[in-house]
Structure 1
């Protein structure tokens, strides 16, 4: 049965398993969300996974583990980005975010710095990444894993182009299609999943988002372990695989 994480009437102890799905409203109340997660006895993915994953500073850990990650600079409130982080075309977003909200693409260093300032004024850590131009033509590849195994993949159209509408104020409208991933993308996805599994064990669900680097090589832009869209409708076997993975956990 569906239930809302903020509903005080729900008895979370009564469920054999609680599966996190579309909790996209947590970004403005992270501490309350994590307190709820740690209070649920049987949660997938676990509260420890959620706590690590909802702050995108995990990207620095993945890079330190040797994975090819889109270069990322994190700037805490009170700090200022250096000139190198602002040079060229850059993407600025909060370290705790979902659905590409409060994310901007800037060619003007002053505009990028002003975006960082706005995030800091709201008490948020900012992150800066160079805009990966290959996404304009190739799009983004998302690899979906269910029960610890690769299930299917989708192509997501470039998000930071033109005017984009939000859906119920929760996420930007997306252009989604099925995709057959390359061997290099699948190999990188397996490496990412191995690093995560070494720390947290096998996960019920995961999404690894990749962008094409300057030479076409895949780069990790995000690893979604908290509340990702799994795009089950794009693959006829995906709903059954998720159901089987949930049943195995129960």
Structure 2
């Protein structure tokens, strides 16, 4: 049995390699008491709101950092929770926090990433029904941020391309780029993953033109898209904001 906590995600993607994205686990047997999710806490200070791109880049890095943290390895204190979550549906919930509420979540197990002044804390996934008070009280709605105009991404970082044909709040997009970095990390070999870890799993988040998006689309040959171009897709289940099956993000890793 593999000791890689992301192995089930890699196997799931490979099994459906003829599709443009990984299928998620069946949820027919789920009940409200058994739903699991990773909570992404986005820092929204009233007087100094974060930049949208920086916030999404922080969310993308924090999501995968929790999964690849030493504490999530077999025998570590986070392993059982992370492994159980990855074996099921990869749900993420974005919540806003500021001031004392932001400080309070520092006591909850997770990883905080800061990018250009934007902070996101990805918490160790667990049962939604058993969220600690510090997290449960945080609002989910209201994560809108105006678009910005980031510079061209540097060639040494993976890029998460947001679908330019749909609209997503910053909270929704944060969850989607987190899915992208997790799938990408699951498919990378050990050396590439470790190299990425040396820069804290940093990545760029950009919105391409529609023509660029179509050129990147891996649907025609997903295997070739990954092995030759380093591109994988994130397909949304459609619970919020977008229709089921929508490709929200294309993650591109350049060796």
TM-score by length of 2: 0.26
Larger radius of gyration: 1
Larger RCO, structures 1/2 (Cα 8 Å, 6+ apart): 2
Larger fraction in strand: 1
